[in-house]
Amino acid sequence: MTTALSPTYDERLTAPRSSWVIAVLVGLAAALIAFPYGLPAALGGWAVGTAVAGSWVNAQGSSRIRIVGDLLVADDARVPLAALGDVEVLEEEEARAWRTYKADLRAHMLMRSFVPGAVRIEVVDPGDPTPYVYLSTRTPEALRDAIAAARGA
């Protein structure tokens, strides 16, 4: 049973596994840099380097997109569904274009380059200067359908 506070759509944009491998390699590089100062320094360099790189990777994977009640929640942004217009599903090339040369600086963008798909949602609220919301998502069709279902359309 779904309550008003239960998300009807919930996606977490996690970092790819290769990013975690790179974080460990950064730790190994820090260990090699500290190795001339002894084994304890090398172990400390490995621990600190891996922790710092792992924290960065974790921060990249902490983004969430949810639909809760009549709100679209993308990280800290909470947008009423009534303020949103058409949802455009963007495939890989079109998503890249909207992340780069087609981007509007006034838009709210939750973008992750390691996520190939995205949606672009028009903002129809006349009091909001934001022209659209761009969200990287692994399941753009499911997000579009969840927005339509939450609107009751």
- Segments making up each domain of the chain, as ranges: 8-60, 70-151
- What number is the average pLDDT over the span 28-44? 96
83-101 pLDDT, tens digit each: 999 999 999 999 999 999 9
Q: What is the residue type of 90?
A: L
The pTM of this model reads: 0.79
pLDDT above 80 for 138: yes
Tokens of 76: 């800290």
Alpha-carbon gap, residue 24 to 148, rounded angstroms: 42
Alpha-carbon gap, residue 47 to 123, rounded angstroms: 45
Helical axes 39-60 vs 17-34, angle rounded to 10°: 150
Tokens of 87: 């949802």
